[in-house]
Amino acid sequence: MLVVTVATVVMVAACSLGDAESSTAPSAPPSGQTPTESAGTSPDPTAGSAVDAEGIEHAGNSYLVVTLPLEQWDVSVEWDPEDRGTMLRDAVAEDPTIAVATNGGIFTPELVPGGLLVADGVEMVPLNLSEGAGNFHLMPNAVFAVYEDGHAAVVNSVDYNGEGVMQATQSGPALILDGDVHPAFNEGSSNLAVRSGVGVSPEGDTVYLAISWSFTNLWDFATLFRDELGVEDALYLDGDISTLWIESMDEPGPVAGPYAGIITARERS
């Protein structure tokens, strides 16, 4: 999805600022696919893979959740500014060591990350604290970061400190911070869509990636992380264009991208 920023470049939003409160009908997944197909799932996502992936039922919705202990998995944020968007099928075909791949955060029509992106210790896009419309600017937004000492965190963007950060992506809105659901989310909201997100365990030693198998609202997606996974800090990545791929699945489909940045996981040797 797209983001509006008020900075040096004017960007067009595709994410609704009223996402948490709107009573509009749910949007359809791309290319006429069902939510399950657009989420990139298979009947048994754990078959033949070392990845800890499971389907979880929460608040009447179905989700695919991947659990990545950082002592076992190397989690990275990747983006090639020379590439006009990354297709997941190309990324996993080019690097067979990738065991998990998903879209990064919200980006611009020019296929540039809407906010901070750090890859292998290099800040490629700076932190974006500007005001604007769209989900990215539904404050507080947040940064998902992996640090050189091996821990990960999701932090409010205004509290972000880049010291020791090796990988990072900024998106919005934050789903939960310090265990509190984003103040703009409404329980029972009828604004439904496919949702993807990332959360980190309170100890900072485990990363959780999740995507909905069915249309869900932001309240239910946030409480999935808090109530089912014990996560206190989690970040919304994107909506109907999202895909969460695991190595045991068929190759990602033609609607899995293009993305301006992806999150990947490789098993540590």
What DSSP string runs through 15-36? S-TTTTT--PPPPPPGGG--HH
pLDDT value of residue 44: 59
pLDDT tens digit sequence for 107-159:
999 999 999 999 999 999 999 999 999 999 999 999 999 999 999 999 999 99
Enter the tokens of residue 129.
């604290």
Task: Give per-residue pLDDT as tens, 66-122.
Answer: 999 999 999 999 999 998 899 999 999 999 999 999 999 999 999 999 999 999 999
Calpha distance 106→253 (Å, rounded) = 20
Q: How far apart are CA 178 and CA 155, in angstroms?
A: 9
Q: Which sign does the torsion angle of CA 63, 64, 67, 73 carry?
A: negative
Pull the structure tokens for residue 38.
């657009």
**Three-class DSSP category at 125:** strand
**pLDDT of 13 higher than 80:** no
Residue 93 CA to residue 7 CA, distance in Å, equals 36
Nearest to 115 by CA among 141, 139, 91: 141
| Nearest CA-CA partner of 79 in 114, 110, 108, 118 | 118
Cα 200 versus chain centre, distance: 12
Stated pTM of the model? 0.86
Torsion, Cα of 242, 182, 168, 45 (10° steps): -40
Backbone torsions φ then ψ of 73, nearest 5 degrees:
-120, 140
- Mean of all residue pLDDT scores within the chain: 86
**Of the ranges 18-27, 43-52, 192-201, the best mean pLDDT one:** 192-201
Cα dihedral sign, 76-81-87-91: negative
* CA-based nearest residue to 170, from 156, 184, 150, 182: 156
